[in-house]
Amino acid sequence: MEWRIRIHRKALKFLEKLQEHERKRIVEKLVNLVESLERGFLPYARLDVKKLKGKWEGFLRLRVGNIRIIFKIDVDRKEVFIYHIHYRGHIYQ
């Protein structure tokens, strides 16, 4: 079974509003994330992934320029759930 990405409706709405070049960068970064997971590891430094704290405990953050992607990884179901995508100043509110 291959890894798959599920995207929350709110995150998908934000993606649709982005310019094409920004959307393409995000898709490329997500493809890199899934390819790394398929190889069995998550390169935190190379992909700029960090574990979140506080009310976001259990989530991870992926940085793509000024845009942040908040997601969870379900290893058992081989699934990445994209919870929220937004600009840095608005994502954690």
What is the pLDDT at residue 73?
94
Count how many domains the chain has: 1
Question: What are the pLDDT digits (tens) for 30-55?
Answer: 999 999 999 888 888 888 999 999 98
In a domain, 92, yes or no: no
For the domain that residue 34 is a member of, what is the CATH number? 3.30.2310.20
What is the pLDDT at residue 1?
65
Torsions phi, psi of 11, nearest 5? -70, -40
Q: Which residue has the tokens 């798959």?
A: 4
In a domain, 14, yes or no: yes
Compute the distance between CA of residue 29 and CA of residue 42 in angstroms, rounded to an integer. Answer: 13
Quote the domain boundaries for residue 56.
4-87
In a domain, 93, yes or no: no
81 beta partners: 6, 72
Question: What are the pLDDT digits (tens) for 7-28?
Answer: 999 999 999 999 999 999 999 9
31 burial via Cβ count (<10 Å: 0-12, 13-18, 19+): exposed
